[in-house]
Chain A
Amino acid sequence: MHLLIPIAANVVLAIVLMALFLSRRTVDGARLADGDEALRLYRERFPDTTGVATVTADRQGALIALGHGAGIGLLQRRGRRWTARKLGAGDIRSVALTGGDTLIISLADFGWPRAQLPIADPEDRAAWLAGLGSLATTSAARTATVSTHA
């Protein structure tokens, strides 16, 4: 019973905040201008990164081919901010293609379980599918990736 008042207060607060966000139509919409901007944002977390970035079709994410075989950089918008990861062997559970152009990456990370990345260019998409698949945790996942791609 003693929990009801503070929980109810938080529920009311959530409703008020939702109403305010809706009435003010705040846009949580950062977008990437180009690959250079993606690299710049990625370097905020991994400062010495060199590589080439592919910006997603919705400009809300990027995949970065890190130099010297250092893995793959992942950058994705989270509200008005950006989240970055350096993906190596074992960091990806599986990767699949859906809707014709969207890569769905299942990550071995409870704090970031899934990334959805539409890639417009078919060659880029195929290359990333293969690259990400090569980092997938299990051989079964790698096989699934290849067959999805095929």
Chain B
Amino acid sequence: MPDATFVTAVGIAELLVLLLIPIELVLASRGWIRAEYDARDTLANVAVSIGSIFFWGSFNWILLGVVAVAYQHRLADVPFTWWSFLLAFVLEDFRYYWWHRIGHRSRWFWASHVVHHSSQHFNLSTNLRQSWTSQFSGLILMGVPLAYVGFNPALVGVAFGLNLLYQFWIHTEAVDRMPRWFEWLLNTPSHHRVHHASNPRYLDANYAGVFMIWDRLFGSFVAEQDDEPVRYGLVENLGTFNPIRIALHEYFGIARDLLRKGLTLAQRIGYFFGPPGWSHDGSRGTTADLRASEQARRQRSGHHAAEADASGEFAPTSVLG
């Protein structure tokens, strides 16, 4: 079992990082670093956090129970050593990547995770805006494999805690770019800004927790472009700071769609498990649709710019190159 002191230390560290939020706010308000705080948005983040802690803590027994059963039937005993901890950390990050990717690609799971993306700001307090329903979506089953293989659940729990702790500092605009090797290997503020963007070019990208290699391997990596500033938030942003509405809005959206009259079973399944933005009549837009529209728009504007160039007309792109 991991040393209890170590487990406690991770917990205390997770509380101490909260101190960084007011520090970032003060430094930003003095103009020393880049960060933007909005009072109601930030306080909504804290309110959502309190709800998240309550629901996570109250229903944690579901995850613990599932993992305990898997561990009872484990295939082997992975010893508790430094290398097994490193291995657990990497494998846990791999699990996180897929958990996160599914959480973005299917509406039922997105309904839980969307909470974290619902702020139009991006600062350290954005960390606090976490799901209230993560124990109920079904994705906790992704905690089974490591325990079933034989990793001690407490060891995996610590790896998970450290993973989350790492992700705290990447929710910031205060850091522009890290050294090139760092940006290649690890998740950074730049990569995570892209992840929180609603620009079509950036949607559904950079799911990594710690190691960016998963995105590079599985084709979901998108680099932040200096010529396209990130717009944070959702494609359809919320018109409320009410934490209950923030936490549950997508479930109500799903229910509203499922209750539409005249839909086939396949269409109802599409509204439930299909990608966010899917609609039976194409009236909304998935990430693929939004990207295609954006690309067509860019091509049109490029075409117009080329024509204007040929005719000697002024066109911004001809000036900017």
**A residues apposed to B, CB below 8 Å:** 2-3, 5-7, 9-11, 13-14, 16-18, 20-21, 24, 26, 28, 44-45, 47-48, 76, 78-81, 83-85, 107-115
- Please list 23 pairs of residues, one from A and one from B, whose beta carbons are closer than 8 Å in the complex, sorted by A's number: A5-B15, A6-B53, A10-B18, A14-B43, A20-B22, A26-B29, A28-B40, A78-B239, A79-B41, A81-B120, A83-B237, A83-B238, A109-B253, A110-B245, A110-B248, A110-B252, A110-B256, A111-B238, A111-B245, A111-B250, A113-B239, A113-B240, A114-B239
Given known pairs A6-B53, A10-B50, the reply for A111 and B253 (CB within 8 Å) is yes
Which A residue's beta carbon lies closest to that of B57? A3
Q: Mark B34-61, 1 if CB is under 8 A from A, else 0.
A: 0011111111001101100110011000
Binds A, one of B86-94, B160-168, B228-236: B228-236
Whole-angstrom distance between the alpha carbons of A14 and B26 in the complex?
14
Whole-angstrom distance between the alpha carbons of A11 and B21 in the complex?
13
Is B21 touching A13 in the complex (CB atoms < 8 A)? yes
Residues facing A in B45-85 (CB within 8 A) are 46-47, 49-50, 53-54, 57-58
Whole-angstrom distance between the alpha carbons of A113 and B38 in the complex?
21
* B contact patch SS: helix
Is A10 touching B49 in the complex (CB atoms < 8 A)? yes
- Which of B15, B26, B233, B240 is close to A9, meaning CB atoms less than 8 Å apart? B15
Residues of B near A45 (CB, < 8 A) are: 235-237
Q: Mark B242-285, 1 if CB is under 8 A from A, else 0.
A: 00011011101100100000000000000000000000000000
Is A28 touching B233 in the complex (CB atoms < 8 A)? no
Q: Which 8 pairs between the two chains have the least Cβ-Cβ distance? A: A112-B239, A110-B252, A111-B249, A79-B38, A81-B120, A3-B57, A21-B39, A111-B238
* A contact patch SS: mixed
Is B21 touching A17 in the complex (CB atoms < 8 A)? yes
Which B residue's beta carbon lies closest to that of A18? B43
Whole-angstrom distance between the alpha carbons of A76 and B249 in the complex?
18
B37, B54, B125, B297: residue with the most chain A Cβ atoms closer than 10 Å:
B37
Is A76 touching B26 in the complex (CB atoms < 8 A)? no
Residues of B near A5 (CB, < 8 A) are: 15
Given known pairs A26-B37, A113-B245, the reply for A17 and B239 (CB within 8 Å) is no
Residues of B near A85 (CB, < 8 A) are: 236, 239
Is B240 touching A17 in the complex (CB atoms < 8 A)? no
Which B residue's beta carbon lies closest to that of A47? B297
Residues of B near A11 (CB, < 8 A) are: 50
Which A residue's beta carbon lies closest to that of B38? A79
Residues of B near A80 (CB, < 8 A) are: 36, 38, 41, 121
Distance (Å) between the CB of A11 and the closest chain B CB?
7
Is A17 touching B43 in the complex (CB atoms < 8 A)? yes
Residues of A near B240 (CB, < 8 A) are: 111-113
Residues of A near B50 (CB, < 8 A) are: 7, 10-11
- Which of B38, B39, B235, B249 is close to A110, meaning CB atoms less than 8 Å apart? B249
Given known pairs A17-B46, A26-B37, A78-B120, the reply for A9 and B239 (CB within 8 Å) is no
- Which of B37, B39, B128, B241 is close to A10, meaning CB atoms less than 8 Å apart? B128
Residues facing A in B203-239 (CB within 8 A) are 231, 233, 235-239
Distance (Å) between the CB of B141 and the closest chain A CB?
24
Residues of B near A2 (CB, < 8 A) are: 57
Is A81 touching B121 in the complex (CB atoms < 8 A)? yes
Indicate if B25 sits at the interface (CB-CB under 8 A): yes
Is B46 touching A26 in the complex (CB atoms < 8 A)? no
Given known pairs A28-B38, A79-B38, the reply for A10 and B53 (CB within 8 Å) is yes
Given known pairs A18-B43, A26-B39, the reply for A111 and B57 (CB within 8 Å) is no
Residues of A near B40 (CB, < 8 A) are: 28, 79
A10, A45, A115: residue with the most chain B Cβ atoms closer than 10 Å:
A10
